[in-house]
Structure 1
């Protein structure tokens, strides 16, 4: 199956400060609201390609949730990313049939500041080298706003790719193959829908990240409109995330 990137998750301790920092970097940031369980709230940076960055902070300790554990132990930074399924139940069943250990679908939701209630279903693999699936129950445009909020002063127009720290690139490639239903070369980019890709970096290239945060997303590359500034964003404002910028078709 061809799954496109839905969103990338950055967990932070102070959501308001993070919003201000990302606004200073030239992003349009919109409040997301409070999650159904009440333990977390978020803000969104939505791009023209439909993918978005979720900035999430916890209102209280949530030790059973990996995102909170990584945040509390290693500090602000990338913690996860999600793919957009077609039929999430069918996609999960197909991945299980290919041997992947994955749980779900599980119901989730969020209450927007304007009172609109959103609902979705997620499914998560047993290992954090893989993304989770996030499929909408309510219309996606309610969860992922459209219009001018997708325009950014810094020229960002979408996500080009994500680097993933993995303990064993060969093992992770097989897991990605089971999730996506296609052969995956551990030394090559893993193609997603809409021209995005994932690169698997083993201990030789991501040893420090593995030691500090475990398996999971390591860095993010954004596409920017031609003529916009490229290169890495100011790490003092990205809250532990290495975010690069390239013009379209240059990853």
Structure 2
């Protein structure tokens, strides 16, 4: 079962300068560590709803890396992950519905305090879909705890992830195969509730400038997020990523 949004991946040029920028924007940024392949390192911004933002930077050229292609387009939102109860079962269940995921693939990193983390990922066949990230070691070791939730900008969690797609009907079908739930379709978008967050699929006909920018610069994939409780309408100009306040219900 896939039961929640796990995290959003934000590519940055230099990790230290990105940490400074996000701190200046009112976030508490936790140290992450170096990934097992040595190509990337990260820092994390966690929220009370269990989700987090991953600031990731390349330490060396890595053309073999899934996210290396995004370097040419510059910093910004590049991917997001869902949290499965069991990665192997989630992959098998998706395959039964006709969607073939690549995985489970082992991964990990070493925290600055020396603790080794291990997880399993599974990767989708098309870039409109998220990847899966399931823990082998305790998730509490991977995700910063309440000591890092006191963001002065008021952010409490990820309300929405907006995904730019080229064919809304086709993407709805792929999400249904991945999750076992058919997204709620509207004329210009489709929505899937997952835990405390929503995934919003939008095509070029939606007129959303973030969608059009993503499709032009990177192709399909995550293009914007909204944060619960954020006290600033739009942090995009400051951070170079489409991070906005969720509408107040």
TM-score, normalised by the number of residues in structure 2: 0.93
| Structure 1 gaps, min length 5 | none
Asked if residue 197 in structure 1 is aligned to residue 202 in structure 2, the reply is: no
- CA distance in 2 between counterparts of 1:108 and 1:138 reads 11
**1:114-146 CA deviation, whole Å, 9 max, x = no partner?**
000000000011111111000000000000021
CA contact (8 A) 1:43 1:54 kept: yes
Q: What aligned pairs does 1:122-201 form with structure 2 within 5 A after superposition?
A: 122-187=121-186, 188-194=190-196, 196-201=197-202
**1:16-70 CA deviation, whole Å, 9 max, x = no partner?**
1111000000000011000011110000000011100000000111112231111
TM-score, normalised by the number of residues in structure 1: 0.92
- CA distance in 1 between counterparts of 2:39 and 2:213 reads 30
The change in CA–CA distance for 1:2 and 1:108 in structure 2 (over 3 A counts) is closer
The change in CA–CA distance for 1:78 and 1:66 in structure 2 (over 3 A counts) is same
Asked if residue 229 in structure 1 is aligned to residue 231 in structure 2, the reply is: yes
- CA distance in 1 between counterparts of 2:95 and 2:70 reads 27
CA contact (8 A) 1:101 1:126 kept: yes
The change in CA–CA distance for 1:156 and 1:247 in structure 2 (over 3 A counts) is farther
The change in CA–CA distance for 1:137 and 1:202 in structure 2 (over 3 A counts) is same
Match of residue 212, structure 1, among 217, 222, 225: 217
Q: Offset of 1:236 from its aligned partner?
A: 3.4
- CA distance in 2 between counterparts of 1:109 and 1:198 reads 26
Q: Secondary structure at the match of 2:114?
A: coil
Q: Secondary structure at the match of 2:238?
A: coil
Size of the aligned set, in residue pairs, is 242
